[in-house]
Structure 1
Amino acid sequence: MSGIVACYRRTGEPIESTLLERLCERQRHRGPDGDGRWCDGHVGLGQQLLETTPESRYAALPTVDGDLALTADVRLDNRDELIATLELAGDPSRMPDGRLLLEAYREWGADCPSRLLGAFAFVVWDRDRGQLYCARDHVGVKPLYYYADEAWVVIASELPTLFELPALESVPDRRWIGNYLAGQLTDERATGYQRGGRLPPAHTLTVTETGSTRRRYWSVEDIDPLPPVSDDRYRRRFRDLFEDAVADRLRHQQRVGSLLSGGIDSSSIASVATQLRTDRNEPALPTFSAIFEDVPSCDEREFVEAVTAAGRFEPHYVRGDGFGPLADIDTVLEGFGRPFYPSLFMLVPRLYARASTAGVRAVLHGYGGDQVMGSDVRGYFRGLARRGNLLTLGRELRSYRRRYPWLSWTDVIWRDVLTSLVPEPLRRVYHARYDADRYLEQTIASIDQSFARRIDLDERLERARVRRPPDSQRALRQRALTRGEPTFNLELNDAAAAAVGVEPRYPYFDKRIVEFALALPPGETVVDGLDRTIVRDGLAGILPRAIRERDDKTEFSRNVVYGATRYDREYIDRTLFRDRPSIAPYVDLAGLEDAFENLRTGRASAGDARNLSMATTLERWHRDESS
C-alpha cells in the first residue's frame, strides 16, 4: 500500500514546495516506511510507502526515468509475464512494481492498464506529451480521488487530501446526502462534496493544459460466455483460478494474515491460503475473527473453529460485542472523508487494528464473494421462468422450500418469480396506483420528505422500484459489480486499513475470478436451491465440511442494537439532540427522536439503531464541513 499525490498547475506557474508538502503530510500515515517528493516546475508528485511486498523495499519514491515520472499505489500479480514481455534486464527480486508499471506505460502508453493484473492506482507525468495520465484497477481496490479546474489538478489516495488546496472548498453535496440516507450511493464519481471526484474503477484519466479525458478500458459487459463443458471442468477451473488468486495475494514483505468470519467466502480464502503456505513450509496463517459472548446469536465460533482445526492457523479474536457501531467513526472519517454505514462496518476497523498489533501488514479479505460468486437464488428462478424452463424451476423451488421452510410459498412464487415477468409499462401503472407517494417511506434512514422531493429523490426511487429486476445470474453479477456499492466499500476499507498500517487484499475480486464468474452458464452456482455450489464443490477436500454444507448467514443486527444501546447512546444524544443538528434540513427529526426513545428504553429495533448511527455519522461529518 502507498499514498500517492499529484499536483499539476495548468497555467505553467511553478508548484510551491509548501503545497506539495501539505498534500503529502495529510497522508503521512500511509507511509510508515518512507516518503518522497519530486517536482518539475508546474508538476509535482509525492508518494508514501507501506512495504507489503518483498520488492517494495527497493521502490523509488516517486519513480523517475527520463521524460517519465510515476507515483503509484500498486501490487502487480503478473510480474513474471511483464518482465518477460518487456524484456527487462536485472534481478527481478529487486525490481519494484512501480518500476514495472513505468516500463509498461513506456511500452504501451494509454493501453497499459489492460495489460496489468493486480490492484493499482497510479499517475504518470509524461513530459514529452505534456500530460498527466492516471489509471485505476479493474474493480477499484485502490482509490484515486481528483479535482480539476482551469488552473489546478490535484490527485490523491484519500479524499480529504484534495482540500489542502486553498482554492477548493469542502462544501457538502445535498443530492449526495439524500442518496446516502436512501441507501442509493450508485454514482462511482460522486464524493459527497460539490467539487472533487473519484476516478471510477477500470477507467483512465488523461489531463493536459486545456482539458481532460476519462476513458473506460474494461467492462463487465464485454465478457464472452464460456463454452459448454462438464460441471467438473468448471469446478476444476474455478479451483485453479482461486488458488492462483490467493497465492498472488500471499506475496508479502512481513506477515500476511486473513480475516475469518466462518462464512464461506472468508473460510474458503483462509483454507486455501493455509494449504498453500503449508506446501511451502511457511509458518501458520494468522486469522482475525470477531466473537460475541454477550450476543451469542451472532457468534460464529463454531464455524471459525471448524476452519482453524483443519489447518495450520494462528487464531486471534476481537470481542465484537465490546463496542458500538460508532466507536471508530472519527478515525474512519479522518481518512475516508465522507459518511458511511457504521452498522455494516463496525467490526472491520477493530479487526484491522488487531492484525496490525500482531505484526501483519497484508490482510486477506472475503469481501467480493457475494458480488462475484454469490447468487441471488430468486434471480435464478426469475431467469428460469422467463426462459420457460418450468421443470427445472419447479425442482429448484421445491428444494428451496425444503431448505427454508419458514418462507411463504406464495410469496416466493408470486413476488420473486411471477411479478418479474410483468412488462415494465404495466409495472409502472401498478406502482402509480398502489405505491404512489410511498417511495420515501422505504429509505433506510429518516429523511425529510420536502428535502427529498427538492432533490427529486422520490422520482429516482420510483424509477428504481419500477425497473424490472435482473433475470439471469450474469445480469445480477453485472449489476452487483457496477451499482457503486463495491467501489464505496473498497474505498472505505482502504481508509480504515491505512489508518493502522495494513493493506487489505481481495481474492474474489481478482480479475480472473470476476471474468470466470461472469462467463459461467446459468445454473452453475445454484443447485437444489443452494448457492455458491461451484465454490463448495470446487474446494472439496480443502474447505471443511461444516462450511461446505452451511446454507445460512449470521444476522448481526442484534449486536448492532446491543452496541448502540450499551456504548453509543450518550454519544448519539450529545451529537443529535442536545442542540439543533446541522443536518436538520435533511432528516426527519421526529423520526429520529422516536428511534432514540426506543433506544433509551430498551425497545430499539435494528432499523432504529441503523437510523441513529447513520444520522450521527452524517452530523459528525456535516458539522465539521459546514463550520
Structure 2
Amino acid sequence: MCGIAGIYAQDGAVGKDMLSRMSSAIAHRGPDGEGFYYGDSIGLAHRRLSIIDITDNASQPMSDDSSEIILVYNGEIYNYIELKSELKEAGHTFRSESDTEVIIHAYKEWGFECLKRFNGMWAFALYDKVEDLLFCARDRFGIKPFYYSVSGNSFYFASEIKALLKNPELGTAPDDEKLLLYLSGGITDNDERTLFEGIFSLRPAHYMAVRRGIPENPVRYWYLSVSDKLFSAGNITDDKAAYGLYELLRDSVSLRLRSDVPVGTCLSGGLDSSTITAIISDLIRDENPLSVRNRQKTFTSCYEDERYDERVFVDEIIRKTGASGYRIFPAVDDLRTEIYDLITTQEEPFDSLSIYSQYCVMKLAGKSVKVVLDGQGADEQLAGYLGYQASHIRSLSAHPAALIREIAGIMKYHRKFFIDAAAKLKAGKKRRAYLKGDVPFTDRYAGRLDEVLANEMSGNNLQALLRYEDRNSMAFSIESRVPFLDYRLVEYIASLPLDQKIRGGITKYCLRKMTKGLIPECVRCRMDKMGFVAPDEVWFGEDLSEIVGDVFNSDEFASRKYWDAEDVLKDYNMFLSGKTGYSKDFWRLFCSEIWLRIFFDRRSELL
C-alpha cells in the first residue's frame, strides 16, 4: 500500500517543485520511502508503505531492465506468486520478490489485458516510453483511489485529492450539484465527479490511456452480472451454495494474509468481521501464516452506552477463536479536537460519525500492525442492509405466496427498524425543504433486488465505504484488505439466486448457513445491523450541541447558497428541546460547512 502522484505535460514542462509538494501531501500513505522519476514530459512520485518484499529491490518508481516501462503503484496483487511463475515460463526474468514487478512484466506480456488476470486491489500509472503512453488503471471495485484533473496543458493524478490541491488552479470550487445530492440523501460516490469541481475519480473496473498529456475516455474492462433468479432449485441447494461460499472466502482470506509484515483484523462483532476472524483462526491452525503467527490481533471500538456497544458479541468471538482483543473507546472530547482532522482526512463529506469510530480503530491498530483485514463488501453482495428488504419485496410482486412469506418475516424480525426508518425518512423529507436550488434526490433502493445490488457494487454505497476505509487506514499508515471483494467470490455470490441473500426476512441467508458451527450462534443469528457505529443522536443532542449550534448560528453558515440557515437553526433548536427527532440531515449540514471552511475558505492553508 502506498501513495502515488504524477504530472504528464503536453508541452514537456513538468514542475519538480509541484510534484514534490504533491508527494509531501500524501506522505502518511507511505512513510517508508519516497521516490521520483522524471522524463521529457512526465514526472512520477511514489510514497512507499513496505508490505511485500520490504527490501530496496521493491522501491518505486520501478522500471523494467530496459527502462522503457516505469510504474508507480498503490495496492496489492494477491496472486502475484502464481502470475510470476506463469511469466517466468514465458521467458520473463525478475530481480525482486515484489508484486510491483509482476505488474510491469504482465503489461509487457499481455498489454491492457493484464488487468483481467490480477486478483487484488490496485491503482497505478504505468508509463510506456516507447509509446509515450501513460496507462492508468483501478481495481474492479475501486478499493484503491485514483483521482485526476487537467490544468493548462498538463494531466495531474494522485491517490488523494489533497495532493491535487497543491496546484492552486485545481478544485477551486465545490461541485454544487454533487454537494446538494449529498445534502439531500448522503450520496457522494455515484459517478466519476468528486465534490471538487473539475477533479474526477477513475471509476472501478476502468482504465484510461493518457497520450502526450491528453486523457482518453476511460474504458471498462470488467462487468458484474447479478442473477435475477428468485428461488434456489435443481442443483443449487442451500448446502452447496454455502459450501461454495466457504471455499472461496477461505481462499480469499488466505491470499490476503500474504505479507512480510504483521497483519491484524478489524472486529466489530457483526457477522462479516466475525466470519473473517474465525476463518483466520482456522488458518492459523492449518497453515500457520507468518503474517499472523500463532495468535491474531483484533481491533474494536467500544462505548459505555450499551445501545452503541457490541462487546457482548466481540467477547464471544474472542472466546471462540482465542484471538487477542485490542479495544478503543471513541470519546466525544477527543472528537471535538479531531473533527477538523477527520474531515480533512476524508477530503469529502461523509454520512455519519460512524466514520470516527473507524478512524479510532485504525489509530489503535496502527500501534501494532501495518495490515488489517476488514469485512467491507459483504452487505452489498448479500443484501445485508435492511433497506434491501423493500427491493426484494418489489422483486416478488408476481409471486404472491413468496411475497406473503417475506412480509411476514419482515414483520417478525424488523418491524421496529422499519417504523423508526419511516419516521426518519419523513423527517429527512421535511428537512430537505430548507435546501436551496434544484435539489436532486436518489433512492438507492429503487428497482428490483438484483438491479439494486448490481448498482450498489459499482455505485455509491460501496464506493463511499471504501473511500472512508482507505482514508482512515492510510491516515495511520495501515493497509486495509477486504476479503469479501475477491472478484472470484463476488462473481460466485452474484450468480446465486436471490433467496440465498434474503429469505423470510433473514438477510445474508447463505452466509448465515455457511457460518453455522464456525462462529457463535448469538453472532450468526443477529438480526440488527451496527458495524463501527457512533452515538450521533446523543452527541448532537447533548455533548456537541454547543459546537453545532455555534456553526449553525455563524455568519459563514448563513452566507452559503445551499441552505436556509435560519430554518436550519430553528429546526435544530426544536430537536434540542425534544420537539422533533434526529436525522442525518443535521450531520450533513454540519459536515458540509466544516468541509467548505477547510477546503475553500481556508484553501491557502492547504497549499
Calculate the TM-score normalised by the size of structure 1.
Answer: 0.85
Match of 1:238, SS? helix
Decide which of 262, 285, 300 is 1:255's aligned counterpart.
262
CA contact (8 A) 1:561 1:605 kept: no
Decide which of 479, 486, 489 is 1:513's aligned counterpart.
489
1:452 is the counterpart of 2:462: no
1:593 is the counterpart of 2:594: no
In structure 2, the partner of 1:328 is 338
In structure 1, the partner of 2:49 is 50
Match of 2:375, SS? coil
- The 2-side partners of 1:406 and 1:19 are apart by 55
Going from structure 1 to structure 2, the CA distance change for 1:149 and 1:20 (only over 3 Å counts) comes to closer
In structure 1, the partner of 2:225 is 221
CA contact (8 A) 1:181 1:443 kept: no
Quote how far apart the aligned CAs of 1:558 are: 7.9
- The 2-side partners of 1:280 and 1:564 are apart by 47
CA contact (8 A) 2:434 2:567 kept: no
Quote how far apart the aligned CAs of 1:400 are: 3.8
CA contact (8 A) 2:8 2:41 kept: yes
Root mean square deviation of aligned Cα: 3.1
Going from structure 1 to structure 2, the CA distance change for 1:338 and 1:551 (only over 3 Å counts) comes to closer
> Residue type of the partner of 1:498?
M
Going from structure 1 to structure 2, the CA distance change for 1:159 and 1:406 (only over 3 Å counts) comes to closer
Quote how far apart the aligned CAs of 1:107 are: 1.2
1:243 is the counterpart of 2:243: no
1:382 is the counterpart of 2:390: no
- The 2-side partners of 1:155 and 1:621 are apart by 22
> Residue type of the partner of 1:616?
F
Quote how far apart the aligned CAs of 1:57 are: 6.1
- The 1-side partners of 2:410 and 2:589 are apart by 38
Q: Which moved more, 1:572-581 or 1:31-40?
A: 572-581
Decide which of 193, 199, 202 is 1:199's aligned counterpart.
202
> Residue type of the partner of 1:267?
S
> Residue type of the partner of 2:391?
G
**1:530-564 CA distances to partner (integer Å, 9 max, x unpaired)?**
12121111122212221122222249988212233
In structure 2, the partner of 1:527 is 503
In structure 2, the partner of 1:110 is 112
Going from structure 1 to structure 2, the CA distance change for 1:582 and 1:20 (only over 3 Å counts) comes to farther
> Residue type of the partner of 1:290?
S
CA contact (8 A) 1:238 1:535 kept: yes
CA contact (8 A) 1:290 1:319 kept: yes
- The 2-side partners of 1:468 and 1:40 are apart by 48
Quote how far apart the aligned CAs of 1:344 are: 3.6
Going from structure 1 to structure 2, the CA distance change for 1:499 and 1:398 (only over 3 Å counts) comes to closer
1:3 is the counterpart of 2:3: yes
Quote how far apart the aligned CAs of 1:167 are: 3.6
Quote how far apart the aligned CAs of 1:448 are: 4.0
In structure 1, the partner of 2:176 is 174
CA contact (8 A) 1:143 1:158 kept: yes
Quote how far apart the aligned CAs of 1:130 are: 1.2
CA contact (8 A) 2:4 2:74 kept: yes
In structure 2, the partner of 1:626 is 600
Match of 2:498, SS? coil
- The 1-side partners of 2:514 and 2:95 are apart by 33
Structure 2 gaps of 5+ residues are 602-607
In structure 2, the partner of 1:570 is 546
1:80 is the counterpart of 2:81: yes
CA contact (8 A) 1:326 1:346 kept: no
In structure 2, the partner of 1:470 is 447
- The 2-side partners of 1:222 and 1:471 are apart by 11
Equivalent residue pairs, number: 584
Going from structure 1 to structure 2, the CA distance change for 1:132 and 1:606 (only over 3 Å counts) comes to same
In structure 2, the partner of 1:285 is 296
Decide which of 118, 122, 127 is 1:120's aligned counterpart.
122
> Equivalent pairs: percent with the same residue?
24
Match runs of 1:49-448 below 5 Å:
49-54=48-53, 58-65=57-64, 66-87=67-88, 94-149=96-151, 151-183=153-185, 184-209=187-212, 210-221=214-225, 228-281=235-288, 282-293=293-304, 295-320=305-330, 322-323=332-333, 328-357=338-367, 359-375=368-384, 376-386=388-398, 388=399, 390-404=400-414, 442-443=428-429, 448=434
- The 2-side partners of 1:520 and 1:85 are apart by 31
Match of 1:606, SS? coil
- The 1-side partners of 2:347 and 2:333 are apart by 22
> Residue type of the partner of 2:191?
E
Structure 1 gaps of 5+ residues are 417-438
Calculate the TM-score normalised by the size of structure 2.
Answer: 0.88
**1:463-486 CA distances to partner (integer Å, 9 max, x unpaired)?**
x56x993224x3231022133222
Going from structure 1 to structure 2, the CA distance change for 1:504 and 1:62 (only over 3 Å counts) comes to same
- The 1-side partners of 2:150 and 2:323 are apart by 48
